[in-house]
Amino acid sequence: MPDDPRKGASGAQAIGARARKFPCPQCGADVVWHPGSKRLRCDYCGYQQEVAPAGAAHAGAAAARGATDPASGAPVASAARFVGERQLADGLARGGDLGWGAERKAVRCTKCGALETFEPGVAARACGFCGSPAVVEAPVDANLVRPEGVLPFTVAKNDALQRFRSWLGSLWFRPGNLKERATVSGIQGIYIPFWTFDADSRSDWTAEAGYRRGSGKNARVEWRHASGTLDHRFDDLPLPASQGLDAATAREIEPFPTAEFVAYDPSYLSGFLAEEYAVGLAEAQTLARQRMDATLREACRAEVPGDECRNLRVSTQYSQWHYKSGLVPVWIAAYVYQGKSFRYVVNGATGKATGTAPWSWVKIGFAVLAALILVGIILSNS
């Protein structure tokens, strides 16, 4: 898979021309994915259906694995489970299927830079990431490399919206008119592109271990040479590939249960926005290695005996690199207060959430003043 996530290998199959839509077989309206029922449902007439396997190959693979319904014993007839990781070297050398596999439109936010895709007929009024109305139409690249897995939404929209409203009303030291003055563009379900990486590592480290001796004026540190080897395996280290959702915010709502990825099917995207990959595989592996290096350095530091550590040096060899590509679900409530953008983000699979909101420096000032007065009273009575 090439580093540019929008371009595949020459041998990859572009299927944008065979784009699929999802009309209701009863009334012709759109069917969309509903997290509560975990099915596609028509909001107009109430028709429901399960997501069909992503092609006969998936059904055959499921049958070959002996996948059956626990109640009836019949072969599985729902979406195929995403199976295994790919070797990194193979992914860097080859491409995958191209395009979303269903008709999509796209807009780019001129404020945060996110490139969002959505279904035809849906009007994109504001950026789903930052709430800015400054979005412009953008071309959908038929040569983008399609994600291989998807983690479907399981947290319903009403649940996420209720969490946001409760959170907004429970904040301390915020403007009193925040709930009334915040311009909320609603809460939007967005599929975020993700990579995950596996790797085995062996780290050889050397350091000076410090042992504290004596006390008071006789206190000193005795330094001794120390060394060791640390073996560690990384499993599904997450690496977001989003332009609209920064890595720090993504880490606050992790983990995503990536072991529950299912094989990509565009049906899951019905009714939701989806962001294109903004970080290619080679760049993602470099970023993943940096995170691994930092983790291993702290782990090696913990191995150093004694009371203190200095001059730590770590040399790491990595092997058995594997990766997965997939989309993960988030609910984002983007809102504007006094011209500034804020947002509340919910993990669409687990419900874990985080958010940003403006501070009321007046309330903070009064709290500090009250604390100083209280300290003064305590000191005067002591």
pLDDT at residue 280, as a whole number? 86
Which tens digit of pLDDT belongs to each residue from 39-79?
A: 788 877 878 878 765 543 333 333 333 433 333 344 333 44
Q: Is 70 exceeded by the pLDDT of residue 155?
A: yes
pLDDT-derived band of residue 331, with 50, 70 and 90 as boundaries?
very high
Specify the 3-state DSSP secondary structure of 374. Answer: helix
Q: Is 50 exceeded by the pLDDT of residue 4?
A: no
pLDDT at residue 196, as a whole number? 93
Domain assignment of residue 357, yes or no: yes
- Whether the upstream peptide bond of residue 240 has omega within 30° of 0, thus cis, is no
Domain assignment of residue 327, yes or no: yes
pLDDT at residue 67, as a whole number? 38
Domain assignment of residue 222, yes or no: no
CB-based burial of residue 61 (10 Å sphere; 0-12 exposed, 13-18 middle, 19+ buried)? middle
pLDDT-derived band of residue 5, with 50, 70 and 90 as boundaries?
very low
Which tens digit of pLDDT belongs to each residue from 208-262?
A: 999 999 988 899 999 999 999 999 999 999 999 998 888 889 999 999 998 889 9
Q: Helix H segments across 94-232?
A: 157-170, 178-181
Of 234 and 118, the structure prediction assigns the larger pLDDT to 234
pLDDT at residue 327, as a whole number? 93
Domain assignment of residue 54, yes or no: yes
Q: Is 90 exceeded by the pLDDT of residue 301?
A: yes
Domain assignment of residue 331, yes or no: yes
pLDDT at residue 72, as a whole number? 37
Question: For residue 204, how many other CB atoms are within 10 A of its CB?
Answer: 14
Separation of alpha carbons 276 and 247, rounded Å = 16
Q: Is 60 exceeded by the pLDDT of residue 307?
A: yes
Conformation bin of residue 186: beta by default, left when phi > 0, alpha when psi is -120 to 50: left
Instruction: Give the pLDDT mean for 357-366.
Output: 67
Which tokens belong to 165? Answer: 């409203």
Q: Is 90 exceeded by the pLDDT of residue 266?
A: no
The residue range of the domain holding 368 is: 16-198+232-296+316-372
Instruction: Give the pLDDT mean for 168-192.
Output: 70
Domain assignment of residue 311, yes or no: no
Instruction: Give the pLDDT mean for 152-166.
Output: 86
Instruction: Give the pLDDT mean for 270-292.
Output: 90
Among residues 91, 105, 352, 128, the alpha carbon closest in space to that of 242 is found at 128
Q: Is 70 exceeded by the pLDDT of residue 320?
A: yes
pLDDT at residue 52, as a whole number? 63
pLDDT at residue 7, as a whole number? 38
> Over the chain, what is the mean pLDDT?
77
CA-atom Rg of the chain in angstroms: 26
Among residues 151, 144, 149, 186, the alpha carbon closest in space to that of 165 is found at 186
- What is the number of structural domains in the chain? 1
Q: Helix H segments across 280-345?
A: 281-303
Most confident of 98-102, 319-323, 370-374: 319-323
pLDDT at residue 123, as a whole number? 58
Separation of alpha carbons 308 and 211, rounded Å = 7
Separation of alpha carbons 360 and 290, rounded Å = 37
The lowest-confidence range among 192-201, 257-266, 315-324 is 257-266
Instruction: Give the pLDDT mean for 174-193.
Output: 72
pLDDT at residue 302, as a whole number? 96
Separation of alpha carbons 336 and 378, rounded Å = 42
Separation of alpha carbons 77 and 55, rounded Å = 11
Q: Are 152 and 233 in contact (CB under 8 A)?
A: no
Among residues 190, 305, 307, the alpha carbon closest in space to that of 250 is found at 190
pLDDT at residue 291, as a whole number? 95
pLDDT-derived band of residue 290, with 50, 70 and 90 as boundaries?
very high
The secondary structure of residue 111, as a DSSP letter, is T
Q: Is 50 exceeded by the pLDDT of residue 358?
A: yes
Domain assignment of residue 346, yes or no: yes
Q: Is 90 exceeded by the pLDDT of residue 312?
A: yes
Q: What's the Cα-to-Cα distance from 61 to each of 14, 49, 150, rounded to whole Å?
A: 23, 22, 18
The lowest-confidence range among 5-14, 132-141, 363-372 is 5-14
Domain assignment of residue 242, yes or no: yes
